[in-house]
Structure 1
């Protein structure tokens, strides 16, 4: 958990300005919509944020991000190792299907415990004026749950339900994202170890066999780890991005119209009606700019932390 939490914090801090711009685009913030849809718009929006809020403006919401990302990444990586061990106790038991299942379950587990923190982070980034963490939490809690349709009785009820806007959309997106991310990363690591010898560190890094006779995997060089993580992040982002856009729309719905609670299907339908198919990919270029280095740094730091902490 320590290794995963540190990996998440370092990776998220590295791309915090891009993350804020992407959220502003995804949520259709009227002040920045004129920049959406172009690669140069990313930098123009960042320039405007820096002019009005300084360097602090580019990192608005990052403290909430770090507060959330440590438990999120810690749970995700820890859960993946546990699910992987449960489903694949030895190298002989490994299959692509089981790797996908392990990654998806890890993603769902981490989201289940940390979703309210993610919603607060998104709302902080969406606000164009400085807003404190405690003020925003109080504001979200005091918002009416809305009368669009009643909340299912088995969901957290108002006003706690305000912190779970877009939860099921998040789960739906996390299943392919986490599953594909972990699966692609593992496949690329194995490819490097088997086919590209120069990516390996010295063979002295080989560990002792475990109870099943397996040896710990050889460590990859940093550039190879970054490459594996970056490609894994880009592939996972492409697969799950439309659901992420719908989730962001649902999360900021309380700021736009707190009296209406829209479900995932209603949100997707309205987005399609107003933006067409392209609306589900708004900010994807920023997503690549953000996710590729973030996942690359995350996996690399995680692997290095495991080595530092002597985790086989």
Structure 2
């Protein structure tokens, strides 16, 4: 993207310091379209687009936010030059951190080594694709000038920001929030961007879960009531729910499902940061295995904290019309009739389900993304948001498929007290009874509506997440 800058806008010079001003001046003139000595955001956008460097609104706004020191909404030449000088210093540090042998060039093996330290494993071939997108002279190595020219207008400030597209996104919410939490840079934590991002994800999750609540309740009903003798399918299940409680009953239990998003996300984020500190090495770095363990433990901690709400959601979803007047009435009746222990029924299979879900989710996500990069990436090592969304959707689905039997056992244990005449079995007893009476397929009751909700849930979640980010001013 930035290769042409080498000859056209950013000519090399023997004396770098003396030539920097002339480089900056040439570039400023190309961006100052109305020649008034100042560049506003519209000119920056149009000028970069004309030069073949379309950055996108977020990146351009970040440049302005950083460079516009007097906050007048425009960059004069001094502000423009100061921004580029400061940015080049940061890029120089990033370059040196990648240049492991200090020979003034970055090679594929050094990229592999550097990303491994950050907990990201890529192959030599993938590293070469990254190099190719930066390498202007075809030597399959990147010197400082090539690195600087390529990242001149990239508002990233360090290596971790430059490779952030390798991270799994929090956008995806399919109602089973067990995935490893996202990480935030120190800059995001200081600026408050982390809580805006978490809030955006929380609102997206709430809207997404509400939109797919009928399918979620249908899944729970099929998990609890469907059997060989009572064959409930998607159509008959929906009709039965509407007949029993009207259209509104399709959303029964959704209130609790939405309310638990905030505490679960907050606890998971806090716990993840604490576990990472425990597993980090002396330099404060954390590898892939440690990150996975930290994320799994964070998920378990969050689930333990909000698990009573999971029980309430199931009881409300399975309950009949008029059985409970609301969440608090349900909690009061459970406490009175069954005691405190009832709020943790199904806890063991729920916790056991986190490991296969999170492990397979991450493994499939990385495998799909790697396969896409190997096959289709030629000019850039960034797969793009829609590829990542696709990978995330498939990986989350695979994770659910692997952990679904444990999820079904958990739901049955949570709802057992509502089933008249049903024995109160433990996890092993339920497994044995289901397999004996219904076979292996009995462990997958309700998986149809569960899969049906994935695509709309992801789509709604993504659209709302992006809108929320815009409204909260997240770059």
TM normalised by structure 1 equals: 0.72
CA distance in 2, matches of 1:199, 1:8: 34
- Does the CA contact (< 8 Å) of 1:225 and 1:300 recur in 2? no
Deviates more, 1:107-116 or 1:281-290: 281-290
Within 5 Å, give how 1:234-245 maps onto structure 2: 234-245=397-408
Contact 2:226 2:445 in 1 (8 A): no
Alpha-carbon separation, structure 1, partners of 2:378 and 2:275: 31
1:136 to 321, 330, 343: 330
Q: CA offset at residue 179 of structure 1? A: 3.2
1:183 offset after TM fit, Å? Answer: 4.5
Report the CA distance between 1:106 and its aligned residue. 2.9
Match of 2:242? 50
Correspondent of 2:415 among 243, 252, 266 = 252
Structure 1 alignment gaps of length 5 or more: 36-40, 145-158, 201-216
Quote the Cα distance in structure 2 between the aligned partners of 1:302 and 1:109. 25
1:122-161 matched pairs, under 5 angstroms? 122-130=314-322, 131-133=324-326, 134-144=328-338, 159-161=339-341
Q: Does 1:177 align with 2:177?
A: no
Structure with greater proportional helix content? 1
**Residue equivalent to 1:24:** 221
1:52-201 maps to which residues of 2 (within 5 A)? Answer: 52-76=244-268, 79-80=271-272, 83=275, 94-95=287-288, 97-130=289-322, 131-133=324-326, 134-144=328-338, 159-185=339-365, 188-189=368-369, 196-197=376-377
Q: Does structure 2 retain, via aligned residues, the 8 Å contact 1:177–1:237?
A: yes
Tell me how many residue pairs correspond in the alignment: 274
- Give the distance between the partners of 1:124 and 1:108, measured in 2 at CA: 23
Q: Would the aligned equivalents of 1:103 and 1:181 in 2 still touch at CA under 8 Å?
A: no
- Matching of residue 220 in structure 1 with residue 414 in structure 2: no
Structure 2 distance, partners of 1:181, 1:82, is 22
Secondary structure of the structure 2 residue equivalent to 1:231 = helix
Q: Distance in 2 between matches of 1:142 and 1:193?
A: 57
Q: Which has the higher contact order (CA 8 A, sep 6+)?
A: 1
Match for residue 290 of structure 1 among 443, 453, 458:
453
Among 442, 446, 465, the alignment partner of 1:279 is 442
Contact 1:18 1:286 in 2 (8 A): yes
1:28 to 1:299, Cα distance in 2 relative to 1, 3 A: same
Q: 1:268 to 1:284 in 2, by over 3 A?
A: same
Instruction: Give me the whole-angstrom Cα distance separating, in 1, the residues matched to 2:311 and 2:371.
Output: 37
Matched residue of 2:433: which SS? helix
Q: CA deviation at 1:117?
A: 0.2
Q: CA 1:264 to 1:50, structure 2 compared with 1: closer, same or farther past 3 Å? A: same
Task: Structure 2 unaligned segments of length 5 or more: list them.
Answer: 1-197
Q: Shift of residue 195 of structure 1?
A: 5.6
Distance in 1 separating the partners of 2:342 and 2:200: 32
Residues 240-296 of structure 1, C-alpha deviations (whole Å, 9 max, x = no match): 011111111100012125996432112222222222222111112222223454356
In structure 1, what is the Cα distance between the partners aligned to 2:276 and 2:221? 36
Question: In structure 1, how many angstroms separate the alpha carbons of the residues matched to 2:371 and 2:471?
Answer: 24
Q: 1:12 corresponds to which residue? A: 209
- Which secondary structure does the structure 1 equivalent of 2:425 belong to? coil
SS at match of 1:253: helix
Q: Deviations over 1:59-115 (max 9, x none)?
A: 11111111123322443456456656765789x8543x4454244223212211110
In structure 1, what is the Cα distance between the partners aligned to 2:290 and 2:382? Answer: 22
**In structure 2, C-alpha distance between the alignment counterparts of 1:306 and 1:179, rounded to whole Å:** 29
Q: Secondary structure of 1:132's match?
A: coil
CA distance in 2, matches of 1:294, 1:62: 14
Alignment equivalent of 2:425, drawn from 233, 247, 262: 262
Deviation (angstroms), 1:193: 6.2
1:115-151, Cα deviation, whole Å (9 max, x unpaired): 000100001000131432222112211223xxxxxxx
| C-alpha contact 2:244 2:320 (8 A) present in aligned 1 | no
Change (3 A) 1:110 1:67: same
